[in-house]
Amino acid sequence: MTQVVTTIDEVRALVRTWRAQGDTVGLVPTMGYLHEGHASLITRSVAENARTVVSVFVNPTQFGPNEDLESYPRDLERDVALVEKCGADVVFHPTPEEMYFPDRCTTVHVEGLGKELCGKSRPIHFDGVCLVVSKLLNITTPDRAYFGQKDAQQLLIVRRMVRDLSMGVQVVGCPIVREEDGLAKSSRNTYLSAEERAAAVVLSKSLAAGRAVLEGGERSAAAVCDAVRAVLASEPLAAPEYVEVVSTDTVTPVERVEGEVLCAIAVRIGNTRLIDNFFYNPNE
Ligand code: AMP
């Protein structure tokens, strides 16, 4: 039976009981409106840990002033049913007031990595993510925490934060779960009209073209980006925000693909901003 808890004290008490029994703990941080992408993380955590906590929290500190904090989709009842089906123990669903003191003055900032890619149009986003993830890790003290490669920059930043601050949790990256036509599953896909939903397939198609260029032996990042952009240009409803090939170490653009890279895109389809990516290592 999945238990829903709303206070930090309740989660801590549960984790204490589990620890006393020698149980391992997995954490899956989410903003809710769960889909199969989230389910893959939860299922993996359930398989790898005796206990799993799924947090469902639309974190206000990671939204900019003109972003979709208010309209972000929410459905706790459905989320709890999905978490239960996956076999997790607890849904942690705090209010913003439970998570944040009005006079809080501590920030968590990963220098550099958060300024690139999505950081250019969402300047406060990754600081907000680091703050909430730090808090969730402090509250649940898990052995492992699960993050999707769907949000690849987030995954790289969280890994760096955990390393730099000796947080002692294992960060587990999980592959992107996609719709049948290739669109990466996302809670924000619900914003798309039928016409936009059909157009959104262009994201994964464009990345497939970029990957094909790399697999053909090309090592120029510009050539990869050109191939991606050409496919995106074929869809009139798609307005690319960025198309980049970056180092997985620094998240800065590379000229040539020599070590592991992340090829990442952000594209507006109508009013909805979608992201997608792939990792590529020419030496593997
Ligand atoms: P969100 O609720 O969008 O903040 O996502 C919570 C976690 O689920 C993050 O680590 C995401 O990267 C991950 N996630 C979201 N969508 C997918 C997907 N399609 N495939 C794999 N992981 C995902």
Residue to mutate (ligand 1; options 38, 130, 156; most atoms within 8 A of CB): 38
* Atom of ligand 1 lying closest to residue 188 CA: 3
* Atom of ligand 1 lying closest to residue 33 CA: 2
* Atom of ligand 1 lying closest to residue 148 CA: 12
Say if ligand 1 is within 6 A of residue 147 CB: yes
**pLDDT of the residue at 115:** 97
Is the pTM here over 0.75, yes or no?
yes
**pLDDT of the residue at 257:** 98
Say if ligand 1 is within 6 A of residue 151 CB: yes
**pLDDT of the residue at 226:** 98
Distance, CA of 229 to CA of 267 (rounded, Å): 11
Buried/exposed code over 29-65 (b: 16+ C-beta within 10 A; e: otherwise) = bbbbbbbebbbbbbbbbbeebebbbbbbbbbebbbee
Name the DSSP letter for residue 22: T
Structure tokens at 50: 């005796």
Say if ligand 1 is within 6 A of residue 148 CB: yes
Residue nearest to atom 14 of ligand 1 (CA): 148
Measured in Å, residue 129 CA sits from the centre of ligand 1 at 13
Distance, CA of 204 to CA of 213 (rounded, Å): 14
Residues of the chain with pLDDT under 70: none
List Cα–Cα distances, 81 to 2, 39, 87, 91, 102, in angstroms: 8, 11, 10, 10, 32
Of 35, 38, 109, 125, which residue is the catalytic one? 38
- Of 235, 230, 233, 221, the closest CA to residue 264 belongs to 221
Q: Return the number of other C-beta atoms located less than 10 Å from residue 133's C-beta.
A: 27
3-state secondary structure of 241: strand
